[in-house]
Amino acid sequence: MAAILGVGIHVDMSPAGKLVNELQRKKVTAKAIGKGAKLVIPAARSRAPKRKGSGALKKSIGSKSFASKKTKTGAVAVIGARRKTEVQVQHGNKTITAIPANYAHLVEFGTRAHSLAKGATLKRKSGKGVTKGQGSGPQHPGAKPKPFMKPAWDSTKDAVGEKVATEIVKEVQKQIEKNARTAFKKLR
């Protein structure tokens, strides 16, 4: 099972009360957060390391935003390697299918040295997970981290915040105008 690598965007709108409920119901926050998340994608793609002849990781970076009842904000955006992206890659003299979502976290955070022997697993910090072949056979030296998501987020988070705020303000204005028109019609 692959770990999910991405950046989460959250906006605390709890003080706004009834208006927030209306906006959440209309998925306004999800739309606003989604538009903000799109600003991170080019930055992440430009920083993603490209393997010779592939570029699968770079191609797979995308975002998804959705309304969520599990969070206080009512909306979440996830930015990272998309699970459904598959790329055919030449690996030596054979073609393999690369699914970047399965290894993006290994690129971002690196790996430690481990055995490549059949049946070997990594020794966990708790001491569990050691199986036959742990010390025998060929050894992989590990991989240095090549962060691309965190630096992309760090370089764009201010712009993302501004974009999300701008989009929410636009939607709040629309909602206020709509409610004012409805109230005016009731007065006539």
Question: Which pLDDT belongs to residue 133?
Answer: 42
- Contact at 8 Å (CB) between 87 and 60? yes
74 and 18 belong to one structural domain: yes
Does the residue 1 lie in any domain? no
Residues 93 and 178 in one domain: yes
Upper half-sphere CA count for residue 106 (Cβ side, 13 Å)? 13
CA distance 155 to 48: 14
**Same-domain pairing of 33 and 86:** yes
- pTM (2 decimals)? 0.71
Q: What is the pLDDT of residue 112?
A: 86
Count CA atoms within 13 Å of residue 79 on its CB side.
Answer: 27
Range of the domain at 60: 7-110+145-187
Note whether 34 and 64 are same-domain residues.
Answer: yes
Output the six-digit token pair for 44.
Answer: 């992440």
Residues 99, 79 share a domain: yes
Per residue of the chain (188 residues), what is the pLDDT tens digit?
A: 445 565 666 665 555 556 666 665 667 888 889 999 999 999 999 999 987 767 889 989 999 988 877 766 678 889 999 888 887 777 778 888 888 999 999 999 999 888 888 777 766 555 554 444 455 678 888 889 999 999 999 999 999 999 999 998 888 888 778 777 777 776 66
CA separation for the pair 9, 75 (Å, rounded): 9
Q: What is the DSSP string of 83-107?
A: TT--EEEEETTEEEEE-GGGTHHHH
